[in-house]
Chains A and B, each alone.
Chain A
Amino acid sequence: MTDALHIISPGSSTTVQDMGRFAAYHMGVPVSGSLDDFAHRIANWLVGNSSQCAVLEMSMIGAQFDILCPADMSVTGADMRLHVNGQPHPQWTSIRVHPGDVVELGMAENGCRAYVAITGGINVPVVMGSRSTYLGGRVGGLAGRALLAGDILPRGEGQVRDNPRSLPWIPLYPDKIFIRAIAGPHDDWFRNSLDQFFSSGFTVTAQSNRMGYRLVGPEIRRDPDAPQSIISEPVMPGNVQIPADGQPIILLKEQTIGGYTNIATVISPDIFRIAQARPDDTVQFLRVELDEAHRIYREWREFLKSIESLLMDGFSG
């Protein structure tokens, strides 16, 4: 284990995340993990890591840090105007860094969350099967919290690559996003408002975080015979809750059960689009049925596999 990064300034909320903690829901411990799992994967593959490696997730304002050991580094996700030693540098590409280098990320110019991967992955202890930080429960990551100035993060074993890699395009995050969702699990109680839900635009509010995104828009009313609230049921990332005020909340990765009715559920390949949405962006839900959602899922996984072989090709280790 080698010390890899020294945090000079942590940004607004920077956490260690991997792909999540999948087997602890029944203990009240949610999945956590990188909200944008697409940018997470690309960041790792660019430096030759498995997609399971832990990265840093930064929200809206990026961190500033010193490099403590030779490594490859990549920054993906939101455009945070990456600078290395004061020089601007493109994201979505691998960069060789050396001890003494200073890396700076600024305010997100496009998108909301940036991901920093380093050779070998961020090596904090595995807690309940994952290195991900669950902020609400103070589990995992570095002492269960967001990073602070002065923190030092080690990296795992891994070899630097012979030549740099890049994703052949730079993903952009539009300020009007379309996300596909399946009606339910409680669509039975929204028979009169389901069409309205799937045809309206909603605005992202500042009350949005790793637990969920609060939206505002036309009031989505439950049917008159529907209950006000339900007895707590298990929830999934992507569930769209309709609380009493009729304003949707898209649940993300820090909740296991909940007592509100869910009108629809965002399909898993589209969750990263929400993760990159910023306050005042517009969200519109597009209805898909389960069969189509599974077809999209299979195509998405094929797409990811093709990028993985592109970026990992010729690298062993």
Chain B
Amino acid sequence: MTKNLHGHARFKISGDRSILAVYGTGVDQAVNDRVRRMATLIGNQKVIGIDAVVPSYCTLSVHYDPLKIGFDVLKNMLLELESRLNQADIPEPRTIDIPVCYGQDFGPDIEFVAHHNRIGVDAVIQMHTGSAYHIYAIGFAPGFCYLGGLNPRLHAPRLETPRVLVPAGSVGIAGAQTGVYPQASPGGWRLIGRTPLRLFDPERLHPITYQAGDTIRFRSISVNEFDDLGRIETP
């Protein structure tokens, strides 16, 4: 059983249709886990009048219909749920394995990242695959994960001029962050590799296969494996 780390949530009004519940501050895995568990618990209740639950780092937003549920009732319900959070049966976060072909055409900036940190390309791959990355939040773009846990020896500045088109699946580093571009888009991250998996596909039953609070691990694969795995649908 986990302790109640931060007392109960603080609530903020974000317009006439949503309440913002604040469970702590900063980039903190324990707080983020509390957000994840609350989001799951609220979702499981299927409360009439709650339209959506959106988690982020240390806050979650509950969208509601004021014709169906009042602000105070909703707030009290969230407090009540929080009080039994520790007893609630909520699945543990999952670990998602993401195969990445590092370097070559897939990761044109891997030498830069190596050089910048005065290490070899092999060490970049070893360190990048050696960490577990916590998904703090999903947003900015469909399926895009805000990940924590990048080895400080892999930090690298953004490109001065962003690329016009970064292919879908590209794995990059920007400052202290690492992440995957689920869709092709312009971007300024230093690219070190690419996954053949389609992380986001709106046509699938499950457009993404991970959620905030889960853990991502990268695994190094060869070009041949990249081509083979490219035919598989989901991670």
A and B from one complex: yes
Binds A, one of B79-87, B134-142, B216-224: B134-142
Complexed CA–CA distance, A144 and B146 (Å) = 24
Complexed CA–CA distance, A92 and B131 (Å) = 59
Question: A257 and B142 in contact (CB under 8 A), knowing A234-B20, A236-B15, A236-B63?
Answer: no
**Option from B15, B18, B51, B54 in Cβ contact (under 8 Å) with A257:** B54
Is the beta-carbon distance between B183 and A27 smaller than 8 angstroms? no
Is the beta-carbon distance between A231 and B52 smaller than 8 angstroms? no
Chain A interface helix/strand/loop/mixed = mixed
Binds B, one of A94-102, A200-208, A289-297: A289-297
Q: Which residues of B contact A293 (CB under 8 A)?
A: 15-16
Q: Which residues of B contact A8 (CB under 8 A)?
A: none
Complexed CA–CA distance, A292 and B55 (Å) = 28
Is the beta-carbon distance between A140 and B202 smaller than 8 angstroms? yes
Q: Which residues of B contact A25 (CB under 8 A)?
A: 52, 54, 61, 63
Binds A, one of B106-114, B159-167, B205-213, B226-234: B205-213
Is the beta-carbon distance between A239 and B15 smaller than 8 angstroms? yes
| Residue B143, interface by CB 8 Å | yes
Complexed CA–CA distance, A144 and B200 (Å) = 14
Number of interface residues of A (CB under 8 A): 45
Closest beta carbon of chain B to A271's beta carbon, Å: 9
Q: List B120-148 residues whose CB lies under 8 Å from chain A.
A: 137-144, 146
| Residue A127, interface by CB 8 Å | yes
Complexed CA–CA distance, A218 and B52 (Å) = 35
Is the beta-carbon distance between A136 and B141 smaller than 8 angstroms? yes
Nearest-neighbor residue (CB-CB) of A302 within chain B: B67
Complexed CA–CA distance, A194 and B20 (Å) = 20
Q: Which residues of A contact B58 (CB under 8 A)?
A: 231
Q: Which residues of A contact B140 (CB under 8 A)?
A: 28, 232, 256-257
Q: List B27-59 residues whose CB lies under 8 Å from chain A.
A: 27, 39, 51-59
Question: A185 and B13 in contact (CB under 8 A), knowing A137-B142, A139-B142, A294-B66?
Answer: yes
Closest beta carbon of chain A to B158's beta carbon, Å: 16
Is the beta-carbon distance between A268 and B54 smaller than 8 angstroms? no
| Residue A226, interface by CB 8 Å | no
**Option from A136, A144, A297 in Cβ contact (under 8 Å) with B67:** A297
**Option from B13, B26, B71, B141 in Cβ contact (under 8 Å) with A231:** B26
| Residue A191, interface by CB 8 Å | no
| Residue B4, interface by CB 8 Å | no
Q: Which residues of B contact A294 (CB under 8 A)?
A: 16, 66, 70-71
| Residue A89, interface by CB 8 Å | no
Q: List A248-303 residues whose CB lies under 8 Å from chain B.
A: 256-257, 262, 265-268, 290, 293-294, 296-298, 301
Is the beta-carbon distance between A139 and B202 smaller than 8 angstroms? yes
Is the beta-carbon distance between A236 and B143 smaller than 8 angstroms? no
Closest beta carbon of chain B to A266's beta carbon, Å: 7
| Residue A233, interface by CB 8 Å | yes
| Residue B17, interface by CB 8 Å | yes
A22-42, CB under 8 A of B: which get 1 and which 0?
Answer: 111111110000000000000
Closest beta carbon of chain A to B196's beta carbon, Å: 20
Is the beta-carbon distance between A28 and B71 smaller than 8 angstroms? no
Question: A28 and B139 in contact (CB under 8 A), knowing A232-B146, A257-B56?
Answer: yes
| Residue B89, interface by CB 8 Å | no
Q: Which residues of B contact A297 (CB under 8 A)?
A: 16, 66-67
Q: Which residues of B contact A139 (CB under 8 A)?
A: 142, 202
**Option from B15, B55, B57 in Cβ contact (under 8 Å) with A267:** B15
| Residue A170, interface by CB 8 Å | no
| Residue B192, interface by CB 8 Å | no
Is the beta-carbon distance between A27 and B207 smaller than 8 angstroms? yes
Closest beta carbon of chain A to B41's beta carbon, Å: 14
| Residue B173, interface by CB 8 Å | no
Is the beta-carbon distance between B207 and A29 smaller than 8 angstroms? yes
| Residue B14, interface by CB 8 Å | yes
Is the beta-carbon distance between A127 and B203 smaller than 8 angstroms? yes
Nearest-neighbor residue (CB-CB) of B206 within chain A: A27
Is the beta-carbon distance between B16 and A232 smaller than 8 angstroms? no
Complexed CA–CA distance, A140 and B202 (Å) = 8
| Residue B12, interface by CB 8 Å | yes
Question: A232 and B57 in contact (CB under 8 A), knowing A262-B14, A267-B16?
Answer: yes
Nearest-neighbor residue (CB-CB) of B28 within chain A: A231
Binding site for A on B (CB under 8 A): 12-18, 20, 25-27, 39, 51-61, 63, 66-67, 70-71, 137-144, 146, 183, 200, 202-203, 207-208, 211-212
List of 5 A-B pairs having minimum Cβ-Cβ separation, nearest first:
A234-B61, A265-B15, A257-B139, A185-B12, A234-B54
Assuming A232-B137, A265-B14, what are 12 further A-B pairs, CB within 8 angstroms?
A26-B39, A26-B138, A27-B143, A28-B200, A127-B203, A134-B142, A183-B13, A231-B57, A233-B56, A237-B15, A257-B140, A298-B66
Q: What are 14 A-to-B residue pairs whose CB atoms are below 8 Å? A: A22-B63, A26-B39, A28-B140, A28-B144, A137-B202, A182-B16, A184-B12, A184-B14, A231-B27, A232-B56, A232-B57, A294-B16, A294-B70, A298-B67
